[in-house]
Each structure stands twice: as C-alpha cells, then as structure tokens.
Structure 1
Amino acid sequence: MPSLAPRIDTVPASGIRRVFEQAALLQSAGTPVTMLVIGEPDVPVAPHIGDAARRAWTEDRTDYTPNGGIAPCARRSATSSAERTASRPTSNRSG
C-alpha cells in the first residue's frame, strides 16, 4: 500500500481544520456548539432548504457562487439583519 511522503508532517493544517478542532474542544468541554465548519451541520435541514437544493441539482445549478455571494441573497440577508438590529443595510452588492 502506498504511504504518504515524509514531508507531509511539515504541511500546516488548514484554517478550517483549526477552527473545527477548536470547536470540538469547546464542545467536549460542554459548550453548546453548532458545527458548520466542515460542511456537515449538526442541525436538521429545513424542508425549504432541501427543496431548493433538489431544484438546484435537477436544474444543474451547482456551480460555485461568486466570492461576494449571490446578490439577491446578500441583499435579503442585509435587509433581514437591518430589520433585526434596526440599522440600515450596508450591502452595496448589485445584480
């Protein structure tokens, strides 16, 4: 069976891995943690999210999103945040 190159130990852990390890330490110490760091949330998927994911898959809309996010989602998120905090949205995304 092939083995890993000896230099593998010199490769630093990724940032997401470090966040995951910190969250796991907090969780093991009894702190409630919602794990979203590795892509496997520990909460049930809301039905409307599952429906949207199935539609995206069926419609072959599974490409990566822009780094700035999806403009309508970013606007809605900013508006929702503003409604909760009684401040103006600061998102300047267009699209």
Structure 2
Amino acid sequence: MPSGWFLLLRFWLRVDGVLMRLRDTRMHCAFGDNVNPIILRESCWREARFQALAAKGYPSDAAAYNDPSIISQRLPVVMNKTHKLKVSSNM
C-alpha cells in the first residue's frame, strides 16, 4: 500500500482436553507527506481451559474448535496492550 502497511500475526495453541491459547499481534504504520511515520502495535492474549468453556455451556469436545477465528470470540482476554512508536527522520 502506498499509504502504509498492516501486519497480523496469530499464534494458536490447542491442547485437546486441557486448554486453548490465542495470541494476536497487529501492527500498523501510516506514511504521509511531511509527517513522521508512527507504528502502532496491539497485542491481545486470550486463553481458557476446556473445563471453563464447558462450564459456560460451550462444547467440551476438541473437534468443535477447529477455526481460531471463531474460537477467539469465546476465549476471554487475559492481556491487551497497545504500543506507539514514533519514528524520527533525523538523517
């Protein structure tokens, strides 16, 4: 993209019958004339044990959890951080 870039990194761990863990990191940088670029990074950690999901009424069978995009809505947020990096052009 001529105006910037976007990056999505996803790590998904499923230990059948034990727990599921999802780590998402999104990075975005916008470019502009006469503006120093700013890089934004958002990290979101989600995690739950199969027992906790079953207690909420979700399936306890591991076969029901094949798509991390759908599962992410069911997993509670453990940590959410946003960082901002200002890049100076003093060269």
Q: TM-score range by the shorter chain?
A: under 0.3
Which of the two has greater helix per residue? Answer: 1
Answer 1 or 2: higher relative contact order, Cα 8 Å, separation at least 6. Answer: 2
Q: TM-score, normalised by structure 2?
A: 0.22
Mark the structure with the bigger radius of gyration.
1
Q: TM-score, normalised by structure 1?
A: 0.21
